[in-house]
Structure 1
Amino acid sequence: MLIQFNFKNYKSFKEEVTLDLSATKITEFSDRVVSIGNEKILPVSAIYGANASGKSNVYSAFEYMTNYVVDSFKYGDEEEHFDQFKPTPFLFDTTSPKESSSFEVYFTIPNDKSEKTYNYGFCVDAQGVTEEWLNSKAKTSKKYKTIFYRGEDELDLSGFPKSSQGNIQVALEKQVLIVSLGAKLKIGKCKVIRDWFIDNRFADFGNPFTNYWMSRRLPKGFVTDKQVQQKVIDYFASFDEHIQDFKIEQVPQENDSKQNQYKISALHKVIDSDSYAEIPLESESGGTLKMFALYPGLQEVLEKGSVFIIDELNARLHPLLVRNFLLTFLNPEMNKNHAQLIFTTHDTWQLSNQLLRRDEIWFVKKDESGISTLYSLADFVDEDGDRIRKDESYEKNYLLGKYGAIPSLKSISVLDEK
């Protein structure tokens, strides 16, 4: 489970910010808090803020870190890959573009009986990696133990076997992360970390290309396994009972493609008959297609106990449908493997003390200098110096501007003819 994500000097975030999924000492919904090792961890984080405030940059920062961990073993051999994945630092001052961007996580591994906690992070600039570290802490320990540390003029690989240390020293290049290279070299401690990142899932519904691609991604086993198809039908039945079944047909391959292609139709019951009407899946509503797009990721994270990070979860979905999706993660009986959901949204209907804990609600705001900050409702202090009470109307107070992170509106006078 993700405990904490820190990053600095990335896009609109100049200073270090922390998205903390560790539970604070508040009383609401204590049954959903997961205890692993010495950590108490939350299943959900909801991120609110105005348009262009930087909400999507929180998503982007975690995705950037994940991609770099998974793929950087390639960057030393093929420099054009690194050119495409250089970080985007804060650009609106004279010093930040020259400095490193940093990314760091604290997390636990699903089904790890030892319940170890890991701390991994790295710093990267336009030339490559400037610092990288991996530490671990046993369940009974209060301190982290170094597995490796890498600085500009230092390389401590003491947590690895001697043979592995030599292999890394020979192959390591400036653009490459030790964790990524070590996983490629089949070093167990690196592979565990790399695989934790691989198992997380991302969905950017603010990106039209991603929307298109995800709506055509099929759930694992969907084509051949009727049980999987029935699970998808049951999933749809939670919000739309009109789809009764699917018809799947393989279509001829084009351009010598080695990947099989399929035509999928949703079968709807005809009112005055025992027959079914076939509707091409792509002709279903935008909301239905989005829920279909969400299913493979939901299925995988619930099975693996990993993290689902979604940008603009509310887009094209009714608020009740969004709430039903959240409850999948918030209900311990449904979320048995402790999967987590981090999402950005404008849907204030979910901003409720009947649904979310104060430490599960986060806000992003951007100041007049273009600098974004991230803060939790649990840590927010009002103008009188008081913390937010759990019986407040979060939605009402947010829209009134009590918590900040809302648009500063002016009249759209450009359309006023004079």
Structure 2
Amino acid sequence: MGEGIIQDVERYGVIMFVSFSVGNTGPFKEITGITTLAENLKKEFLEENTFEVSGQNYNKISYIYGANGSGKTNYLAALTKMQKMIIMSTVLGANNNKLLEVPAIKKELAAPIETFKFDIDCKSKETYFEIQVIIEEILYTYSFAIQDGKIQKELLTKKKKRTEVLIKRTSPKYEDIVLRSGLSSFKNMVSVVREDALCLAMAAMLNNPLASMILNEIMNYRVINMASVGNAPDFDEENTNEEAIERYLKYLKIADPTLTNLKVDLESKMDKHVLSEDDLENKELVIKNIHVSVQSLHATYKDHKQVGEIELPFLKYESNGTIRMLRVLPAIFEALDAGSTLFIDEIENGLHPNLVKLLAGLFNSNESNPHHAQLICTTHDTLLLDGVRRDQVWFTDKNQYGETRMCRLSDYPNVRSNDNIAVKYLQGVFGAIPNTQDLK
């Protein structure tokens, strides 16, 4: 995956994640989300913490704080759901019944989007997704609304100096899809778009260059949950070469100084499923499963002098924190090398606060992050609040009706750049913390 993204950087220039919003799903009744667009905060950590694209500044890192159960994980899960809907649109559009029986696909299709549960009116309303990305200094805004498994609305716009509509869909029917500019070439094929499939996904599947470019960026977003410690790292042939292993060891040795090397064995199994020989030019859906075996080499000593090495199963003998580091390091370096965006849930899970700050700091450094990679992470670690812009910090706050809203620290009045934000957060000034008063 990493090599493909790097090719995109070379082909498309600067690629930037701008925003993601969602409504009427999970704990999000109303449309809410975050943006990386920086505000005018009197040059507050401007050079260190932002990138400039076309005269606008965008934050390198966005931190999402909130109480347990307030919706932080649900927000990142909504992005993953959007990505899966894009994939499922191409699967459904293939009209291949055998493909629908593939276990992984069958499982996903059997999991409909859940609307907000704590308002009885929401069950009969649309669920909404919207994402904004910058490619080649052009802002693309893509949104769609879905209800009862059918796409009710779909909109794609581009903006450089003025806003131009590329896709406008006003009902599930393909007859109500208007295509313009770079999507015009898809007009004579638009009838393949099903009521339960996204037009942009089908255009990309049928080789529309603009649709492919936009969806390639969205689908390249990685979402990692640091709580899933039991799983092996996401290794492949590209991120387990000698150079990559050396990069990982530099950081792993901080946690385990006896570590001298890693041995990674990969066993790949690919299941190929023809989408449709007639309509989709023999395109295939490839489901790749990789079995990963990681052995760690450790120095052995006699009288504090190294006398040899011992090989141990990494997942069995290493600490949870070291395993979590190895889970996240490949994704971090792929993002930094490619200039892509990485989403991490509970970034501090199992890691010492100094290690978390070190890993996050890789995205702030111009030396380690020359390609404008971005990090979006959920966290409880208040040490990360030191040296940040107020518009980098977001809070998820759930009210008594189960509704979560996301708000920016810079939206709060009377918060100055030199305030101790961590102390104020723990004191509940911004909400977004557990309510323990009722227990006293």
Amino acid paired to 2:29: K
* Distance (whole Å) between structure 2 residues aligned to residue 394 and residue 179 of structure 1: 42
1:122 aligns with 2:144: yes
SS in 1 for 2:202: helix
2:349 pairs with 312, 315, 326, which one?
315
The two structures have a TM-score, normalised by structure 1, of: 0.86
Do the aligned partners of 2:52 and 2:58 also contact (CA within 8 Å) in 1? yes
Distance apart, 1:318 and its partner CA: 0.7
1:147 is matched with which residue? Answer: 166
Distance apart, 1:85 and its partner CA: 4.6
* Distance (whole Å) between structure 1 residues aligned to residue 58 and residue 298 of structure 2: 42
Q: Label 1:222 to 1:379 Cα distance change in 2 as closer, same or farther (>3 A).
A: closer
SS in 2 for 1:75: helix
* Distance (whole Å) between structure 1 residues aligned to residue 64 and residue 141 of structure 2: 23
2:196 is matched with which residue? Answer: 175
Do the aligned partners of 2:193 and 2:199 also contact (CA within 8 Å) in 1? yes
Q: Label 1:392 to 1:309 Cα distance change in 2 as closer, same or farther (>3 A).
A: same
1:230 aligns with 2:262: no
1:269 is matched with which residue? Answer: 299
1:372 aligns with 2:404: yes
Query: Which segment is superposed worse, 260-269 or 298-307?
Result: 260-269
Identity %: 26
SS in 2 for 1:346: coil
SS in 2 for 1:95: helix
* Distance (whole Å) between structure 1 residues aligned to residue 33 and residue 438 of structure 2: 35
Name the count of aligned residue pairs.
389
Q: Label 1:183 to 1:85 Cα distance change in 2 as closer, same or farther (>3 A).
A: farther
Do the aligned partners of 2:255 and 2:322 also contact (CA within 8 Å) in 1? no
- Correspondence 1:261-340 to 2 at 5 A: 261=291, 263-272=293-302, 273-282=306-315, 283-340=317-374
Distance apart, 1:205 and its partner CA: 2.7
1:399 aligns with 2:421: no
Amino acid paired to 1:307: T
Query: Which segment is superposed worse, 294-303 or 175-184?
Result: 294-303
Q: Deviations over 1:220-243 (max 9, x none)?
A: 4355x3222222222324554331
SS in 1 for 2:181: coil
1:94 is matched with which residue? Answer: 120
Q: Label 1:248 to 1:402 Cα distance change in 2 as closer, same or farther (>3 A).
A: closer
Do the aligned partners of 2:66 and 2:397 also contact (CA within 8 Å) in 1? yes
* Distance (whole Å) between structure 1 residues aligned to residue 28 and residue 310 of structure 2: 51
Q: Label 1:216 to 1:348 Cα distance change in 2 as closer, same or farther (>3 A).
A: same
1:107 aligns with 2:133: yes
Do the aligned partners of 1:363 and 1:374 also contact (CA within 8 Å) in 2? yes
* Distance (whole Å) between structure 2 residues aligned to residue 286 and residue 100 of structure 1: 41
Do the aligned partners of 1:56 and 1:344 also contact (CA within 8 Å) in 2? yes
Do the aligned partners of 2:345 and 2:378 also contact (CA within 8 Å) in 1? yes
1:357 pairs with 389, 407, 414, which one?
389
Amino acid paired to 1:48: Y
Amino acid paired to 1:360: Q
The two structures have a TM-score, normalised by structure 2, of: 0.82
Distance apart, 1:126 and its partner CA: 1.6
SS in 2 for 1:395: helix
- Correspondence 1:202-217 to 2 at 5 A: 202-206=223-227, 208=228, 211-213=229-231, 215-217=232-234
Distance apart, 1:321 and its partner CA: 0.7
2:92 is matched with which residue? Answer: 75
Distance apart, 1:248 and its partner CA: 4.4
1:84 aligns with 2:110: yes
Amino acid paired to 2:69: A
Q: Label 1:380 to 1:149 Cα distance change in 2 as closer, same or farther (>3 A).
A: same
Distance apart, 1:212 and its partner CA: 3.0
Q: Label 1:18 to 1:179 Cα distance change in 2 as closer, same or farther (>3 A).
A: same
Q: Deviations over 1:237-289 (max 9, x none)?
A: 45543311123467999xxxx97756432111123333112221112110111
SS in 1 for 2:37: coil
* Distance (whole Å) between structure 2 residues aligned to residue 242 and residue 345 of structure 1: 29
More strand by share: 2
